[in-house]
């Protein structure tokens, strides 16, 4: 627990994956952050993801 608390006492450098609004909020607060453009396979379409998995 102490180690995690130490982390928040240091300068935060954040890699954000997922909702872009988290990245924007951090950016607005001058936190060093980059956003990774990530989407689940086939944008989360289960049928297409299942078809694609049959080719693996």
Partner 1 sequence: MIQEKIAKANEEAIERVLNAQPTLLAIGKAEKDIPGMTKKTVLHAGPPITWENMSGPLKGAVIGGLIYEGLARDEKEAVELAKSGEIIFDSCHHHSAVGPMAGVVTASMPVWVLENKTFGNKSYCTLNEGLGKVLRYGAYSQEVIDRLKWMENVLAPVLKVALELSGPIDLKTMIAQVVQMGDEGHNRNKAGTSLLIRELAPYIVKTQFTLDEKSEVLKFMHSNDHFFLNLTMPACKCTMDPAGGIKYSTLVYTMARNGTEFGIRVSGLGDRWFTAPAEIIDGLYFPGYTTKDANPDIGDSCITETTGIGGFAMAAAIPIVQFVGGTPKDALNYTTQMYEITLSENNAYKVPALNFRGTPTGIDIQKVLETGILPIINTGIAHKNPGVGQVGAGLVHPPQKCFEDALEAFVEDIEKTN
Our CA angle for 14, 41, 26, nearest 5°, is: 20
Q: How many residues bind partner 1 (CB under 8 A)?
A: 10
Contacting partner 1 within 6-25 (CB under 8 A): none
Cα 34 versus chain centre, distance: 9
Smallest gap from Cβ 37 to partner 1, in A, equals 10
Interface with partner 1 includes 42 (CB under 8 A)? yes
Binding segment for partner 1 (CB under 8 A), chosen from 4-12, 13-21, 27-35, 41-49, is: 41-49
Identify which of 53, 17, 11 has the alpha carbon closest to the alpha carbon of residue 36: 17
């Amino acid at each position: 627990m102490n180690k995690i608390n130490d982390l928040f006492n240091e300068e935060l450098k954040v890699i954000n994956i997922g909702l872009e609004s988290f990245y924007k909020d951090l950016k607005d607060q001058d936190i060093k952050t980059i956003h990774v453009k990530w989407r689940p396979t086939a944008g989360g379409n289960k049928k297409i993801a299942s078809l694609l998995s049959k080719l693996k």
